[in-house]
């Protein structure tokens, strides 16, 4: 009885060139995708700052309705959470304040919002975040986010 030997199974594997082509393709994809993903958090911070400025504007309008005036620059945005004791003390100040959570948050980059009343750009008040760099002016994410533009 003649037993036939089966030829050994051929192992299938990737060649070095195939692996290098895949690595190059992944590198090219990463070069396009990673920068877009890293900008997303900054885009979200800009959007959050715009929303918070809008919310502060609404709180300031409620303050005005109750008191017939806006807080002065000296009283600042703190007047939305505590009754001012300096300057023109508001008589109709709402107990509990004008902000839902009862606290004044900084902008998404950790800097306080800038409040000026009467405003330079608006008649009533100016409100802004100085952006990522925390300084006036700037481009892209360092640009100021304001209630007058």
Q: What does 91-113 look like in DSSP terms, one character per residue?
A: SSPPTT-SSTTSS-PPPTTSPPP
Return the pLDDT at 106.
Answer: 94
129, 45 contact by CB (below 8 A): no
Summarised one tens digit per residue, pLDDT across range 27-36 is 777 777 766 6
| Helical (H) or strand (E) element with 127 | strand 126-129
* Residue pLDDT, tens place only, 55-89: 999 999 999 999 999 999 999 999 999 999 988 88
- CATH of span 42-146: 3.30.700.10
- Per-residue model confidence as pLDDT tens digits over 49-62: 999 999 999 999 99
Domain positions in the chain are: 42-146
pLDDT digits over 124-144, tens only? Answer: 999 999 998 888 888 888 888
Long-range contacts formed by 61-70: CB under 8 A, 24+ apart:
62/94, 62/98, 63/90, 63/93, 63/94, 63/98, 64/124, 66/90, 66/92, 66/93, 66/94, 67/91, 67/92, 67/93, 68/92, 70/117, 70/118, 70/124, 70/125
pLDDT at position 9: 67
Q: What pLDDT score does 44 carry?
A: 87
| Mean confidence (pLDDT) of the chain | 86
As a whole number of Å, the CA-based R_g of the chain is 30
Range 94-99 average pLDDT:
90
pLDDT, tens only, 97-116: 998 888 898 999 999 999 99
């Amino acid at each position: 009885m003649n037993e036939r030997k089966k030829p050994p199974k051929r192992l299938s594997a990737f060649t070095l060139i195939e692996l290098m082509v895949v690595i190059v393709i992944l590198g090219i994809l990463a070069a396009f995708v990673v920068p877009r993903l890293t900008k997303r958090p900054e885009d979200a911070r800009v959007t959050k700052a715009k929303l918070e400025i809008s919310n502060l504007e609404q709180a300031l309008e409620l303050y005005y309705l109750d008191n017939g005036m806006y807080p002065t620059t000296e009283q600042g945005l703190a007047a939305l959470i505590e009754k001012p004791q300096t300057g023109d003390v508001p008589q109709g100040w709402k107990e509990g304040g004008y902000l839902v959570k009862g606290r004044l948050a900084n902008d998404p980059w950790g800097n306080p919002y800038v409040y000026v009343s009467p405003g330079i750009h608006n008649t009533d008040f100016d409100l802004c975040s100085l952006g990522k760099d925390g300084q006036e002016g700037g481009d892209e994410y360092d640009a100021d986010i304001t209630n007058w533009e």
